[in-house]
Structure formats: structure tokens, C-alpha cells
Amino acid sequence: MLACTTSEGYTVTDQRLVEIIKKLQAESKKRNFVETVELAINLKDIDLSNPKNRIQEEIILPHGRGKTIKVGVFGGSEMAVKAKGMADVIVQPEEIEDLATDRAKARKFARSSDYFVAEAPLMPTIGKRLGIILAPRGKMPKPIPPGSDPGATIEKLKSSVTVRTRDKLTFHLPVGAKDMPPEHLAENIDVVLGRITTKLERGRQNIRSAYVKTTMGPSYKVI
């Protein structure tokens, strides 16, 4: 079996991981929707009650999520023009207050996109008026310079996954869709594990185990 080392320094038995994914795809039942492939990671010997030990990372998956990821934009007229056709929703500065004064509307808005970006000068207003809705969901916007082209940022986010450990030793994240090629899913998993390993104080030794599964299917041990 072929072993490979990622740019983050995590070594994985490549063919073994591909075979695990193939087994997962073959043994999971057919559904009337395309299931998400999820990675569950169990940490050990790390105190996550201390915020400095927690992980909050956005990781770009080399083969994307296998599904449509929606990105919303907060920006003035110039950015709105540049974001048209790429962003799924565009909120101009004068619309922020309207959202903030209607809690139900704000919650629906937060659910409308997976990620948000915003012109940097708008961040204090967004934080003050919508932070209570966006922050707990991990959806505070990514700031970008005013008037800049948000295209590159939007494209990156559409292939990204967010890792947030909070204070729990076990956490889950999507790494693709069941109908993706097994080699692509394996590489996505490899990249995620590599990035997480670099963020842990003791690296690989802080990972107790890792499992991969489809949304409604059984788990298969990776580590």
C-alpha cells in the first residue's frame, strides 16, 4: 500500500483510505437524495475548556463539498455589482438595520447562506446589529477591503469547510458527497486531518480516533 505525506505533514496510507471510502459507498443504502460524507474526529489529552486550545479553521477542500455552497455578501453598490452572479444574496448597508429589527427575518437570513463576506468598514455595524444571530452559528462575515472584487473569496468559500471544536472532544464536519470519486473524498479527508493535526499541541497524538460515514450510514474507522 502506498503511503503519502500531505503538505501539512500528516501521513496517511492512501490506498487504505480509498478502500475505506469504496466500502462506505458500496455498503450504504440507496437514498432518494445524495448523502453527505462526514468525518468524525475524537480528540484526547487536550483541555478544550481553555479557549486557546480550541480549533476554528476554514479548510479549502481540494475537490470541494460535492454540493452547492451558498455565500452571502454585505456591501455597497460597487461590491454588489461585482458580486452579482456569484453571491447568493447581497445585502447593502441600508438593509442591515431592517434585518436587525426583525428577529425572525434575521434568523431566516442567517440560514440562507453557508458563509458571508462583508466590506470591512461594515463589520462593526454587522457585529453590533446582527452578531447575536450570526456569531452563534459561526457565520460572522469574512471582511474584505471596500470596493474590492469578492469573487476569489466567494470561490474559496464555496469549496471550504469550517472546523469548530468548541469545548467538546468529539466534532463532525462534512468532507464531500457520497457520489464523489473515492479518490477525491480520500484526498479531502487527508487535507482536513493534516490541517487539524498542525493545530493540535501534540499533533497526531492528540487524535484518539477518526471515523467516516454517510449522513444515514454506518461509521468506518480511519484512524
Averaged over successive runs of 10 residues, the pLDDT of the chain (223 residues) comes to 42 76 92 94 94 91 94 93 92 94 94 95 96 93 91 93 90 95 95 94 94 93 94
Helix axis angle, 103-112 to 123-134, nearest 10°: 90
Domains in the chain, please, with CATH? 3-63+159-221 (3.30.190.20), 71-157 (3.40.50.790)
Give DSSP secondary structure letters for 141-189: PEEE-TT---HHHHHHHTTEEEEE-TT-SEEEEEEEETTS-HHHHHHHH
Please tell me the predicted confidence (pLDDT) of residue 222. 94
Name the β-bridge partners of 118: 74, 143
Contacting residues for 27 by C-beta, under 8 A, at least 6 apart:
217, 218
Please tell me the predicted confidence (pLDDT) of residue 87. 94
Neighbours of 20 (CB within 10 A): 20
Helix axis angle, 103-112 to 93-100, nearest 10°: 120
Global pTM? 0.83
Please tell me the predicted confidence (pLDDT) of residue 15. 87
How far apart (Å, rounded) are the C-alpha atoms in residues 147 and 139?
22
